[in-house]
Amino acid sequence: MIRSIRLRLLLLCAALAVGAILAVGAAMVVGAGHDGGGWSTAFAISAFALLGLVTLVWFVLDQRVARPLERLAADLRVRAHGKSAAPLDLQHTQHLGDLAFAADAVTQALGEAALATAQSVAAETRRLEDERLRLTALLTEIPVATLLINPDKRIVLYDGQAAEILAQLGTPRLMADLRDYFDRDATDAAWDRMARTGREVDTHISGRDGAQRYSVRLKPMDDGNCLIVIDDAEARLSSEAPRPIVYDFDLLQRKPPRDMAEMPLSELTYCVFDTETTGLLPHRDEIVQIGAVRVVNGRLVPGERFDELVDPGRPIPEASSRVHRITDAMVRGKPGIHEVGRRFHGFAEGAVIVAHNAPFDMAFLRRHAAETGVSWDHPILDTVLVSAVLFGTTEVHMLDALCTRLGVEIPMERRHTAMGDAEATAEALLRMIPMLEAQGLNTLGKLLEATRQHGRLLKDMN
């Protein structure tokens, strides 16, 4: 096999030259046999022959050079930015000569170095995780709920007790406004008094629904941050196992987004979701499950998950149950889409909504928006289109293919479950964001503009 790409191109050009000479010569021979318009005939024949030769050469270069180069470039981006350590697939690069083998050697060397670094990081991460678990266990024994709030009144940390209280008033979320859960006027008044005096403030604040009242202590901290302790939380906590502490200290000075289109992709909050349905017709079928996770500050937030079965109000076809394994018995007595839709809307508040083939899933939600009493005016990001931006329209963009390309594993028992597919989509998104930023698509506005060029993909898919 010829390994030199220069020699391959030389042979191709030589074949083109020989073919052109033969085509022109044959055309002249044919033309010489005609009286009168022989030269015109020769010109026409040679022109069509040369056009065919050029088309053939273009096709060969496209199939054996251009497309393999695009695929190799995409694979290199995945390994450079997408955390994949898998070896390159050289099956389609045999005509690129030494280039593919050299790229494979470089990626293997970088992969070995990255593996050594990852092992060191993992060891330190385990140590920090052990400390976090000890801190969680300690705080669990203290009968108060604890929240850490940044200067914009947004939640940066909440412990297990606080998570249970927030869950009674909405959905616990990092970067959520504190006033999404508690009475706005009373919260603002207590905060202003703390800021004005620089001292702790003890007060009583009602929940947003007005059904419960809490004894709250606000303690000022450095840089305008605030520690909030809810003293009488113990009476309202369930007997379930405590949830771990959820926090991100990088959010202490993070400002709430003014214009999401100008926000860097890595700083946005994403709500990545998937649905399972009774069928494939959004105008007629119904949702039977919604699964979603939240991505804040470039990472999946542990504990911030939305996983709800929905009573569709009609029998689930057997063919659909074979796909998602949800039966009529499983959804019997569960809330309907109007209640679950409202709760999911709260879970997605302030976030960019992300889905794989988003128009399909959003059509089900928007169909019931009026009855649900919500407006789905969030920015929508579709990972099918993001994949097309990165890897080109000639690649397959189904979720399984995308995850394979990025090295994201979906356990078989989790595939075609709303939560399993949402988690896989979120992991794929996190691996694609550095690749997008490397191409200069570093804000939501730029990315949405790039995805609009591939909108036809979704129309064909649906």
Catalytic positions: 416
What is the rounded radius of gyration, in angstroms, for the C-alpha atoms of the chain? 30
The burial of 127, by beta-carbon neighbours within 10 Å (0-12 exposed, 13-18 middle, 19 or more buried), is given as exposed
**H-only helix segments in 332-382:** 337-347, 358-367, 369-372
CB 340 within 8 A of CB 290: yes
Q: For 355, phi and psi rounded to 5 degrees?
A: -155, 160
Nearest by Cα to 54 from 42, 65, 46, 43: 46
Task: Give the Cα separation of 250 and 22 in Å (integer).
Answer: 70
CB 301 within 8 A of CB 426: no
Which two three-digit tokens encode residue 187? 């919260």
CB 185 within 8 A of CB 269: no
Task: Give the Cα separation of 452 and 388 in Å (integer).
Answer: 10
Q: For 155, phi and psi rounded to 5 degrees?
A: -75, 130
Buried b (16+ CB within 10 A) or exposed e, 234-273: eeebeeeebbbbbbbeebbebeebeebeebebebbbbbbb
Which two three-digit tokens encode residue 173? 């979320």
Residue 360 DSSP class = H
Point out which residues pair with 226 in neighbouring strands.
149, 220
Neighbours of 4 (CB within 10 A): 11
